[in-house]
Structure 1
Amino acid sequence: MRYRVLGRTGLQVSVIGFGGIPIQRVSAAEAGLIVHKALDLGINFFDTARGYTDSEAKLGSVLRQRRNEAIIATKSMARTAGDMASDIRTSLKAMGVEYIDLYQMHNIKHKAALEKVLSPGGALDALQQAKEAGLIGHIGVTGHIKEFLLEILRIPEIETVQFPFNPVESNGVRELLDLSGQTETGVIIMKPLAGGAFSNAGLALRFVLEHPVSTVIPGMDSLKQLEENVKAGLDPLPLSAQERRALDEESGRLGTVFCRRCEYCRPCRQGIDIPSVFLLDGYYRRYNLQEWARERYHGLKATADQCVGCSECEERCPYNLPIREMLAEASGRLA
Structure 2
Amino acid sequence: MEKRKLGKTGFEVTLIGFGGIPIQRLKDDEALRIIGEAVNQGINFIDTATGYGRSEELIGYGIEKYGRDKFYIATKSPVRDYDGMKKEINKSLKRLKTDVIDLYQLHNVRTEEQYNKVMGKDGALKALKEAKEEGKIKEIGITSHDLHILEKTVDTEEFSTIQFPYNPVERRGEDLFKKAKDLDIGVIVMKPVAGGAIKNVNLSLKFISENENVSVIIPGMDKVDQVIENSKVAKEFTQLTEEEKRIIDKEAKELGSEFCRRCGYCGPCPQGIDIPTQFILEGYYLRYDLEDWAKERYLGIDKKASDCIECGKCEPKCPYDLPIRDMLKRVSENLG
Question: What are the equivalent positions in structure 2 for 1:135-174 lying under 5 Å apart?
Answer: 135-171=136-172, 173-174=173-174
SS at match of 2:196: coil
Deviations 1:246-280 (A, max 9, x none): 00010011011101111111111112111111100
Runs (4+) of structure 1 exceeding 3 A deviation are none
What letter corresponds to residue 122 of structure 1 in structure 2? G
Which residue does 2:259 correspond to in 1?
Answer: 258
Instruction: Tell me the equivalent position of 1:48.
Output: 48
TM-score, with structure 2 as normaliser: 0.98
Aligned to 1:175: 175
Structure 1 contact 31–221 (Cα < 8 Å) conserved: yes
| Cα contact 1:47–1:73 (8 A) shared by 2 | yes
CA RMSD of aligned residues (A): 0.9
Question: Do the aligned partners of 2:180 and 2:187 also contact (CA within 8 Å) in 1?
Answer: yes
| C-alpha distance in 1 between matches for 2:122 and 2:323 | 42
Partner of residue 199, structure 1: 199
Number of residue pairs the alignment of both structures matches: 334
- In structure 2, stretches of 5+ residues that fail to align are none
Report whether the alignment pairs 1:305 with 2:287: no
Q: Structure 2 matches for 1:126-141, cutoff 5 A?
A: 126-141=127-142
Mapped to 1, the partners of 2:75 and 2:127 lie a distance apart of 15
Inter-partner Cα distance in structure 1 for 2:174 and 2:195: 21
Deviation at 1:236, TM superposition (A): 2.5
- 1:275-307 per-position Cα deviation (integer Å, ceiling 9, x unaligned): 111100000000010000000000001121111
* Distance of 1:24 and 1:226 partners within structure 2: 16
Shift of 1:309: 0.7
The 1-side partners of 2:174 and 2:163 are apart by: 14
Letter in 2 for 1:194: A
CA-to-aligned-CA distance 1:30-49 (integer Å, 9 cap, x gap): 00100011011010100000
Partner AA of 1:81 in structure 2 = Y
1:188 and 1:209 map into 2 onto residues whose CA distance is 12
> Are residues 1:24 and 2:40 paired?
no
Deviation at 1:174, TM superposition (A): 2.5
Q: Does 1:210 align with 2:210?
A: yes
Give the drift of 1:64: 3.0
| Maintained 8 Å contact 2:25/2:54 | no
Aligned mates of 1:63, 1:15 — CA distance in 2 = 20
Write the letter of the residue equivalent to 2:5: V
Checking the alignment, whether the CA contact within 8 Å between 2:162 and 2:187 is kept in structure 1 is yes
SS in 2 for 1:195: helix
Q: Distance in 2 between matches of 1:261 and 1:174?
A: 15
Instruction: Measure how far apart 1:2 and its partner are.
Output: 0.9
3-state SS of paired residue (1:256): helix
Instruction: Give the % identical residues.
Output: 47
2:64 corresponds in structure 1 to 64
What letter matches 1:60 in structure 2? G
| Whole-angstrom CA distance in 2 between matches of 1:154 and 1:8 | 14
The separation in 2 between residues aligned to 1:99 and 1:64, in whole angstroms, is 13
Residue number in structure 1 paired with 2:229 = 228
293-302 or 224-233, which moves further after superposition? 224-233
Aligned partners of 1:321 and 1:178: how far apart in 2?
28
Contact 2:115 2:149 in 1 (8 A): no
Q: Is the CA contact (8 Å cut-off) linking 2:188 and 2:214 kept in structure 1?
A: yes
TM-score by length of 1: 0.98
